[in-house]
Amino acid sequence: MARSDTSPLRRTFPVPGGPPVRLRMAGPHDRELVTRLLERRGLPADQLDVQRLLEFDPCRRHVLCALAPLVGTEVLAGVGAIDFGADAPELLVIDERFAPGLADVLGRVLIERSRARRAA
């Protein structure tokens, strides 16, 4: 993936084998969407853990939501989190049914943004 493909100014990203996804910063208002994503993937969706994930310091950490188009609306197809300076995401949960290949795209965007922050 070229550097321009992970630009922080870019919002929509191509996904191999699926529709483009829109990436945006996660927030407390995403609690229900993230909980449903975790449940769809068969993962524990403890409300305190979800709250901690979504209430973060954007100066130290990135948490991104990946939204895929589905019949005139958007569905949360993935969520990922990385601390600035880290070499790999701490969390990467993807529902590949909506966007095959999304794990690679979201993981690379998170890593690139972590590196960019470390270099700044």
Percent of the chain whose pLDDT exceeds 90: 70
Rounded distance between C-alpha atoms, residue 58 and residue 93, angstroms: 20
Pick from 82, 51, 23: which is nearest to 92 by CA?
A: 82
Domains of the chain in sequence order: 3-119 (3.40.630.30)
pLDDT digits (tens, 9 = 90+) for 39-56: 999 999 899 999 999 999
- Residue whose tokens read 């690679």: 104
- 11-32 burial, b at 16+ Cβ within 10 Å, e below that, comes to eebebeebeebebeebeeebbe
Tell me, what DSSP letter sits at residue 4?
G
pTM of the model: 0.87
